Amino acid sequence: MAISIFPVTPRFAAEVGDINLSKPLDAATLQAVRDGFATYAVLVFPAQKLSVEQHLAFASNFGPLERTVQKTLHSEKLRVREEIADIANMDAEGRIWKKDARLRLFQMGNRLWHTDSSFKAPSGYASMLYARSVAPIGGHTEYADMRAACDALPATMKARLQGLIAEHSLMYSRRRLGFTEFSPQERAAFAPVLRPLLRRIPESGRETLYVASHIGRIGGMTDAESEALVGELIAHATQRQFVYTHRWRVGDLVMWDNRCTMHRGTEYEDTRWPRDLQRATTSDRIDAFGLLERESTAAADY
C-alpha cells in the first residue's frame, strides 16, 4: 500500500500515514518519503511504536547518524545511547530533573529558535524526534519555514544578505542563556563553523535562510551589528504565517529538515511532568556552500 501524505499547512508540514517505521522501508516507500520531505520540510508520522534500534534504523536512511554533544558537555552518564540526543527532562536514572540541574539549564537552549547542529561540520540534515511520553499541557515544538521566510524577504534585505557568512557555535547559543564558562575541551569541540546566511536546497531548488541562535558573528560586521541582524532575521522568520506548532501525542515521530527550518520547544512544567522525547539526527553530506564535507570530523567523534 502506498503511503498517504496529508498536508497540515499548504507547503510546510504534512502528516504521513499508511507507513510503519519499525520495519525496513522498501525503495518505493523511501522515495515517497524523500519526495514528501522535499516539499514539506516537516513530516509527522503519528502512532509509531519504535524501539531505539528501530528509530535509529529509520533515521539511517537519511545519512550518517550524529553523536550527541551531551557527552562532551556533561561528564554525567547518558540516559540513552550516544546516537540519541536526549530531549527528555530526566537524569540518567530516569528521574525528573531538579530545577537547578546543569543539564536542565543547558537544555533551555532548546527554547531558543535554532536549527540542529548548524555548529557542526558537517551540519545537521534530518532530525527525527520521537515521543515516548508527553506533558499534558505545554511542551509543544514550533517550527518555522525558512524557505517561505526567505521568499518573503524585502528585496533590499535579500541583496544585503547575499554572500554573508555567519559563525555558528553552541557556545554562542549557550552564551545567550548566561553560560560563559567553557572548558578548553568544550572550546575546541565547539570552535565556530562558517555557514552562509542564504543557501539553496538541492532537492527542491528553493532558496532558504540559514539562521539560528547558534550564530555569534557575521563576517564583516561588529558583534552588535551581527546581533541586530540575527535578531531581525529570526523575528522575520518566526512570524505566525511561517510557523507550524506541533502538539505532541505519544508515538509521534516528527522529522524536519535542518537546512531550511528553525524550531524551538515551548514552555511546560518541566519539574512536574515527565516529557520523554528522543531525537536522532543525521549529518548533511554536502555543506551549506555546496561543497562535499569531510567524512570524518571532530564533531562526529564527540
By CB under 6 A, the count of residues binding ligand OGA is 10
Alpha-carbon distance values, 158 to 125, 198, 226, 273 (Å): 24, 9, 16, 43
CB of 252 to ligand OGA, least distance (A): 11
DSSP state of 150: H
**Which partner from the list ligand OGA, Mn ion, none does 118 bind, CB cut-off 5 to 8 Å by kind?**
none
Q: Is 279 in the site for ligand OGA (CB under 6 A)?
A: yes
CB of 86 to Mn ion, least distance (A): 12
CB of 280 to Mn ion, least distance (A): 12
DSSP state of 160: H
Q: Which helix (H) or strand (E) holds 42?
A: strand 42-45
Q: Which of 242, 263, 276, 299 binds ligand OGA (CB under 6 A)?
A: 263
Given the complex with Mn ion, which of 5 and 103 has the nearer CB atom? 103
**φ/ψ (deg, to 5) at 20:** -115, 105
Alpha-carbon distance values, 228 to 161, 202, 223, 233 (Å): 13, 30, 9, 9
Residue 167: CB atoms within 10 A of its CB come to: 18
**Which partner from the list Mn ion, ligand OGA, none does 141 bind, CB cut-off 5 to 8 Å by kind?**
ligand OGA
Q: Which helix (H) or strand (E) holds 61?
A: none
Name the one range near Mn ion by CB under 5 A: 16-24, 88-96, 114-122, 152-160: 114-122
Given the complex with ligand OGA, which of 64 and 151 has the nearer CB atom? 64
Question: What binding mask, one character per residue, do residues 99-138 give for ligand OGA by CB under 6 A, x or -?
Answer: -----------x-----x----------x-x---------
CB of 204 to Mn ion, least distance (A): 22
Q: Are 147 and 262 in contact (CB under 8 A)?
A: no
**Which partner from the list ligand OGA, Mn ion, none does 87 bind, CB cut-off 5 to 8 Å by kind?**
ligand OGA
Q: Is 161 in the site for ligand OGA (CB under 6 A)?
A: no
Q: Which of 83, 116, 252, 293 binds Mn ion (CB under 5 A)?
A: 116
One-letter amino acid identity for 300? A
Q: Which of 12, 265, 283, 287 binds ligand OGA (CB under 6 A)?
A: 265
Residue 34: CB atoms within 10 A of its CB come to: 12
**Which partner from the list Mn ion, ligand OGA, none does 279 bind, CB cut-off 5 to 8 Å by kind?**
ligand OGA
User: H-type helices in 177-287, by residue range?
Assistant: 184-189, 223-237
One-letter amino acid identity for 87? I
Closest listed residue to residue 108, CA positions, set 234, 256, 228, 213: 213
In this structure, the strands spanning 42-45 and 13-17 are parallel
CA–CA separation, 132 and 140 (whole Å): 14
Q: Which residue is nearest to ligand OGA (CB)?
A: 265
Q: Is 257 in the site for Mn ion (CB under 5 A)?
A: no
The site for Mn ion (CB under 5 A) is made up of: 116
The site for ligand OGA (CB under 6 A) is made up of: 87, 110, 116, 127, 129, 141, 263, 265, 277, 279
